[in-house]
Structure 1
Amino acid sequence: MKSSLSIIYKNCGNKFDSLSLIKPAAFRKHRMEYAATAINRRHRRRDKIVVIMGATGSGKSRLSIDLASRFPAEIINSDKIQVYRGLDITTNKIRFHDRLGVPHHLLGEFDSSLGEFTPSQYRYHASSAIQQIAGRRKLPLVVGGSNSFIYALLADRFNPDVELFNGSDPVCTELRYRCCFLWVDVSLPVLNEYLIKRVDQMLDSGMLDELAQYYESEINESEINTGLRKAIGVPEFRRYFRMFPGRMKDTHGGVGEDDQVRRVVYEEAVRAIKDNTCQLANRQMEKILRLKGEGWDLQKLDASAAFSAALEGESADGWSGIWERQVVEPSVKIVERFLE
């Protein structure tokens, strides 16, 4: 299957080395726009790409690996926080061993201390990555929950000065690539329950210690709303680490007044993370529905049953079987038809 499918990809000509590209802080706006236009001209034949969309926690990364194991593919991250280096647990980056050797691009590559990584910069870097992947006769899989990044990459008429999802500007339906959109959907009540449990799992996996190290290394507090500082978990725990600096792992023990206060502040931070994560999922869902409602051909894959089974304690084989039948197998058929 891989060899027959991969022959549809032609060499794209000149390639860009993503590791040698100009760092975000050094970008000039006119250079980025010129470069993006140049790349767009080279893509007039419009390479085929698969775009996996969905709210946070809906299984996009898992599906991307499932597809990459069946097609000759490489993955391009489209999560605006996961592009930054660091806080791997807090930002929920896919673990290295879970990538199964599949190449990932724009995942943890940029230093957030150099400034905000903008949609225009994402358009430039992701376009370059697509060109490289297609040049290797592989299928580019664009995967992530940041719909503003996805729109910036794909819209033929993209205005970097307009925030599409904060206004009433029309959605551009003319796209720069031939796209197969896979939308992994989970009903909000089920997804919210899963997200709440996922926060607890992240904390059990070392998220608090990771944040403690981050706050220990932070010097400049002035740029609160840029880069990794916007990652859910960082602002919520700010008060906690200001009051109790250091790696305070034991948040449930102790009987003294300081221990009780620390426990209360900790629990407030955890509740805020859970609430903000669920709110993020809801906002992402609204953006996806807008894109679909204005003409983007999103193929919906309902993963609610698989998530419900996992939440109810069904065995890994049980809920994985549901995921395979209801999400992976339909996705493979959609991609096969798209490539043919």
Structure 2
Amino acid sequence: MPPASPAPPTSPRAAPASPSPRPRGLPHLHRPCLAAPAPPGPCLAATGPSRGRPLSRRHLPRQPPATSSRRQAPRAPGSFPAAGKPHQPPPGADSTPAPDSSLAGRSSLATPPLPVSHSPRTAGLDPASSGNIPLAGSIFPQILANKFVVIMGATGTGKMKLSIDVAKVIDGEVINADKMQIFARFDITTNKVSIHDRCGIPHHLIGVVPATTPDFHVSFFRSLATATANFIVRRNLMPVIVGGSNSLIHGLLVDYFDSSLANPFALANYWPSLRFQCCFLRIHANELVLDEYLNHCVDDMVDASLVKELKDYFDASSNFVQQTRLGKAIGVKELGKYFMGHQSYCDAIEEMKDNTQSLAKAQNAKIHHMVDIWGWPIFSLDATETIRAHINGSDHMAEAKAWQRDVSGPALNAISEFCNNFNGF
């Protein structure tokens, strides 16, 4: 039995009444770490920063159209069948998508997909929120019936917010591509988007894998996400892939997936092609501004009962970290050492901040590799001013204006241009 751990220090700020995750807005300003009863243990050094760089946009080459497999020309590997009559499940039927073996895309897995999180769609959209971009029911559903919007970026840049903004306009549904959010439990630790913050947009593959699962293979995600996307497309809706796990995005989108590749981003002579027509959107921010914001994010998660969420589980299962993939989530390992008396509370929080910043740099490096080495066409969106406006305490309207000007507006324009480039396919 592990030694009893000291209770986490209490913050002078009142904790929320419920341990549920706070809304995915920009969090409160940084607070200094409070002193806590500290068992003896080493202090960990912070990692050093490294600079990122903006990406340039390129265009995808035209690809053959996706067609029905019956009495028509064979479709390209991995492409969806042509959208026909929208699939409407009978009243009371389970909304879980059924796997289609013809769409598994060279994946050897035949495991049926797990249940998806599905919330009702809100009725009506605000035309003023999308500028001159056509709304759902206009050009988007017809032109984008067999194509993906893929939203990428470092942690904390606003990927999920953009995916919801986009899905409202193009009549889409979100497919999660975050390897930690796909697990059940630890909603605060993995920063899952709450039902309220989904704004009625259905979100798939969030919290669908049991927390006790030892590992989660990319090949399984490829099969699962392909079946889920097919479920969306057959209802004449648009899949919006969003997440910071670039290995999952690679595994889903490449034409040929080799599960023996431990790290495809480390190979100098590897140039994967895409099996789908994709509109890639990447959100980035100034590194120093993003690092400061990520520190606020950690503080905000602590305020939202992150420590209690993890301590309750550690008290029941001390071997959790060594036995499961979810044990690799930022916060589990760091606070685990605090619970076991190996480091102080303040050191654990600071280590979480350092590791979160390091994660953002690693994510950006992989995206640069996709563009510079693989030649994937990624449109870059700068959220620096939106984040800076929040850090400086600007009013909500100033943040919303910066977001629409620099992120959501250009993103919808890029999707519109993508539609025009592939009109007729």
TM-score interval for Structure 1 and Structure 2 normalised by the shorter chain: 0.7 to 0.9
- Quick check: 133-142 or 307-316, which moved more? 307-316
Counterpart residue identity of residue 124, structure 1: S
The CA deviation at 1:150 is 0.2
The equivalent residue for 2:407 is 327
Report the alpha carbon displacement of residue 220 of structure 1 after superposing the two structures with TM.
Answer: 3.5
Q: Does 1:235 align with 2:333?
A: yes
**Of 281, 299, 314, which residue of structure 1 is paired with 2:360?**
281
Q: Distance in 2 between matches of 1:284 and 1:308?
A: 21
- Following TM superposition, by how much is the alpha carbon of 1:226 offset from its aligned partner in structure 2, in angstroms? 3.2
Q: 5 Å matches for 1:301-320?
A: 301-320=381-400
Whole-Å Cα distance in 2 between the matches of residues 173 and 46 of structure 1?
Answer: 24
Query: 1: CA distance between counterparts of 2:85 and 2:311?
Result: 45
Alignment of 1:72-151 (within 5 A): 72-151=171-250
How far residue 12 of structure 1 moved from its aligned partner, in angstroms, is 9.3
Q: Aligned partner of 1:305: which letter?
A: E
1:198 aligns with 2:271: no
SS at match of 2:274: coil
Q: Which amino acid aligns with 2:319?
A: N
> What secondary structure does 1:70 align onto?
helix
How far off its partner does 1:21 sit? Answer: 7.4
Task: Give the whole-Å Cα distance in 2 for the aligned partners of 1:35 and 1:169.
Answer: 32
Provide structure 2 residue ranges, at least 5 long, that are not aligned to the other structure. 1-81, 100-105, 112-143, 421-425
TM norm structure 2: 0.65
CA deviation profile, 1:53-85 (whole Å, cap 9, x unmatched): 000111000101111221210000000111000
SS of corresponding position for 1:224: helix
Secondary structure of 1:184's match?
strand
Out of 218, 229, 248, the position equivalent to 2:317 is: 218
Residues in 2 aligned to 1:212 and 1:172: alpha-carbon distance in whole angstroms? 44
Question: Whole-Å Cα distance in 1 between the matches of residues 323 and 396 of structure 2?
Answer: 39
**In the TM superposition, what is the alpha-carbon distance from 1:34 to its structure 2 partner?**
5.7
| RMSD of aligned residue pairs (Cα, Å) | 2.8
Q: Is the 8 A contact 1:78 1:144 kept in 2?
A: yes
Distance of aligned partners of 1:272 and 1:234 in 2 relative to their CA distance in 1, 3 Å threshold:
same
Q: Which letter does structure 2 place at the counterpart of 1:10? A: A
TM-score, normalisation: structure 1: 0.81
Aligned residues: 297
Superposed, which structure 2 residues align to 1:22-41 within 5 Å? 32-33=107-108, 35=110
1:61 corresponds to 2:160: yes
2:376 to 273, 288, 296: 296
Change (3 A) 1:143 1:179: same
The structure-2 alpha-carbon separation of the partners of 1:117 and 1:85, relative to structure 1 and needing over 3 Å to count, comes to: same
Question: What is the alpha-carbon distance in structure 1 between the residues aligned to residue 398 and residue 228 of structure 2?
Answer: 37
Separation (CA, whole Å) in 1 of partners of 2:147 and 2:402? 29
1:168 Cα shift? Answer: 1.7
Query: Is the CA contact 1:155–1:174 (under 8 Å) kept in the aligned structure 2?
Result: yes
In the alignment, the residues of structure 2 paired with residue 21 and residue 164 of structure 1 have an alpha-carbon distance, to the nearest angstrom, of: 30
Query: CA 1:15 to 1:77, structure 2 compared with 1: closer, same or farther past 3 Å?
Result: farther
**Residues 107 and 257 in structure 2, CA contact (< 8 A), matched pair in contact too:** no
SS of the residue 1:152 aligns to: helix
Shift of 1:15: 11
After TM superposition, give the deviation of residue 217 of structure 1 in Å.
2.7
Partner SS state of residue 114, structure 1: coil
Higher helix share: 1
Evaluate the alpha carbon distance shift between residue 46 and residue 133 of structure 1 in structure 2; reply closer, same or farther with a 3 A threshold: closer
Shift in CA distance, 140/230, structure 1 to aligned 2, threshold 3 Å: same
* 2:334 alignment partner AA: E
Partner of 2:83: 10
Structure number, greater radius of gyration: 2
Q: Pick closer, same or farther for the CA change 1:11–1:216 going to 2, 3 Å.
A: farther
| Structure 1 residues not aligned, in runs of 5+ | 1-8, 23-30, 37-44, 245-263
Find the aligned partners of 1:225 and 1:165 in 2 and give their Cα distance: 25
Matched residues in 2 for 1:47 and 1:170: separation? 30
Per the TM alignment, residue 316 of structure 1 is displaced from its structure 2 partner at its CA by 1.5
Q: State the alpha-carbon separation in 2 of the partners of residues 227 and 197 from structure 1.
A: 26
Runs of 4+ more than 4 Å apart: 12-22
> Structure 1: how far apart are the matches of 2:323 and 2:271?
28
Q: Please give the alpha-carbon distance, in whole angstroms, between the structure 1 residues aligned to 2:270 and 2:369.
A: 8
Alignment of 1:131-210 (within 5 A): 131-165=230-264, 167-210=266-309
Q: Is the 8 A contact 1:46 1:176 kept in 2?
A: no
2:369 and 2:338 map into 1 onto residues whose CA distance is 37
Deviation of 1:147 (Å) = 0.2
Residues 1:338 and 2:418 aligned together: yes
Distance verdict in 2 for CA 1:154–1:172, change over 3 Å: farther
Cα offset, 1:218, TM superposition:
1.6
1:164 Cα deviation after fit? 3.1
Percent of residue pairs bearing the same amino acid type: 38
